[in-house]
Structure 1
Amino acid sequence: MSVWDSIVGQQQVVEQLKAIASGDPKAIAQSWLICGPPGSGRSNVARAFAAALESPDHGLGDEPTKAAQQVLAGTHPDVTVLATNKVTIGIDEVRNIITTSEQMPSTAPWRIIIIEDVDRMLERTTNVLLKEIEEPSEHTIWLLCAPSAQDVLPTIRSRTRIVNLAVPSTQAVAAFLEQNGGFEPKIAVRAARLAEGHIGIARLYAKNEQVMSDRDELIVGVLGLRRASDAVLLAGNLIDNAKAQAEAEVKVKAAEAEADFRRVNGLGAKDRIPPKLRGAYNAIAKKDELKRQTTRLTRDVLDRALNSIASIYRDVAVLQNNAEDSVGLINLENRSSITELSVRLTRGGAVRRLEDIAVARRRLAGNGNPVLVFEALFCSLIAS
Structure 2
Amino acid sequence: MSVWDSIVGQQAVVGQLQAIVSGDPKALAQSWLICGPPGSGRSNVARAFAAALESPDRGLSDEPTNITRQVLSGTHPDVTTLATNKVTIGIDDVRQLILTSEQMPSTAPWRIIIIEDVDRMLERTTNVLLKEIEEPSPHTIWLLCAPSAQDVLPTIRSRTRIVNLAVPSTKAVADYLMASVNPALPAERQFDRHVAVRAARLAEGHIGIAKLYASDTQVMSDRDELIVGLLGLRKASDAVLLADDLIDTAKSQAEADVNRQTAAAEADFRRINGLGEQDRIPPKLRGAYNAIAKKDEIKRRATRRSRDVLDRALNSAASIYRDIAVLQNNAEDAVGLINMENRTAIAELSARLSRQEVVDRLEAITVARKRLLGNGNPMLVFEALFCALIPGRL
Same fold at TM > 0.5: yes
Looking at structure 2, the residues matched to 58 and 296 of structure 1 have their Cα atoms a distance apart, in angstroms, of 37
Match of 2:358 among 338, 341, 350: 350
Q: Is the partner of 1:188 in helix, strand or coil? A: helix
SS at match of 1:378: helix
How far apart, CA to CA, are the structure 2 residues paired with 1:200 and 1:357? Answer: 22
Percentage of matched positions with identical amino acids: 80
**Structure 1 residues 283, 307: CA separation in 2 closer, same or farther (over 3 Å shift)?**
same
What CA distance in whole angstroms lies between the structure 2 residues aligned with 1:292 and 1:139? 37
Is 1:336 aligned with 2:332?
no
Q: Give SS of 1:210's match.
A: helix
Query: Which stretch of the first structure deviates more once superposed, 251-260 or 6-15?
Result: 251-260
Contiguous gaps of at least 5 residues in structure 2: 183-190
Residue 206 of structure 2 corresponds to: 198
Q: Secondary structure at the match of 2:97?
A: helix
The within-5 A match list for 1:1-384 is 1-182=1-182, 183-384=191-392
Aligned-partner residue type, residue 154 of structure 1: P
Unaligned runs of at least 5 residues, structure 1: none
SS at match of 1:64: coil
C-alpha distance in structure 2 between counterparts of 1:279 and 1:95, whole Å: 30
If the length of structure 2 is used for normalisation, what is the TM-score? 0.92
Superposed CA deviations along residues 14-48 of structure 1, whole A, max 9, x for unmatched, are 11111111111121111211111111011110111
CA contact (8 A) 1:3 1:63 kept: no
Relative to structure 1, is the Cα distance of residues 130 and 273 closer, same or farther in structure 2, using a 3 angstrom cutoff? Answer: farther
Q: Does the residue aligned with 1:162 lie in a helix, a strand or coil?
A: strand
Rounded Cα–Cα distance in structure 2 between residues aligned with 1:155 and 1:204? 37
State the alpha-carbon separation in 1 of the partners of residues 282 and 333 from structure 2.
Answer: 64
Gap change, CA 1:342 and 1:292, over 3 Å in 2: same
Say which is worse superposed, 347-356 or 157-166, in terms of deviation. 157-166
The 1:94–1:247 alpha-carbon spacing in structure 2 relative to 1, beyond 3 Å, is farther
Mark the CA change 1:228 to 1:171 in structure 2 (over 3 Å): closer, same or farther: same
Q: Distance in 2 between matches of 1:271 and 1:125?
A: 48
Partner SS state of residue 253, structure 2: helix
Shift of 1:179: 1.6
Greater shift in the superposed pair: 162-171 or 123-132: 123-132
Aligned mates of 1:271, 1:89 — CA distance in 2:
41
What is the CA–CA distance in structure 1 between the aligned matches of 2:289 and 2:128, rounded to whole Å?
32
2-side partners of 1:261 and 1:115: how far apart?
28
TM-score of the pair, normalised by structure 1:
0.94
Distance change (3 Å), C-alpha of 1:295 and 1:124:
farther
CA-CA distance at 1:280 after TM superposition:
2.9
Q: Which moved more, 1:114-123 or 1:187-196?
A: 114-123
Greater CA drift, 291-300 or 306-315: 291-300
* Residues 86, 292 of structure 1: 8 Å contact kept: no
**Alpha-carbon distance in structure 2 between the residues aligned to 1:122 and 1:285:** 33
- Listed one character per residue, the Cα deviations across residues 103-161 of structure 1 (whole Å, up to 9, x for unaligned) are 22122111112222223344444444333333322211111212122333333333222
Q: 1:236 to 1:207 in 2, by over 3 A?
A: same
C-alpha distance in structure 1 between counterparts of 2:21 and 2:268, whole Å:
33
| Contact 1:196–1:330 (Cα < 8 Å) also in 2 | yes
RMSD: 1.9
Q: Distance in 1 between matches of 2:360 and 2:11?
A: 36
The Cα of 1:89 is off from its aligned counterpart by: 3.8
Q: 1:284 to 1:93 in 2, by over 3 A?
A: farther
String of CA shifts for 1:33-85, please: whole Å, max 9, x gaps: 11111110111101110111011121233333332232223232222222234
Cα distance in 2 for partners of 1:57, 1:80 equals 21
Instruction: Deviation per CA, 1:211-259: give whole Å up to 9, x if none.
Output: 0011001100100000011111111111111122122212222222223
Distance 1:196 1:80 in 2: 30
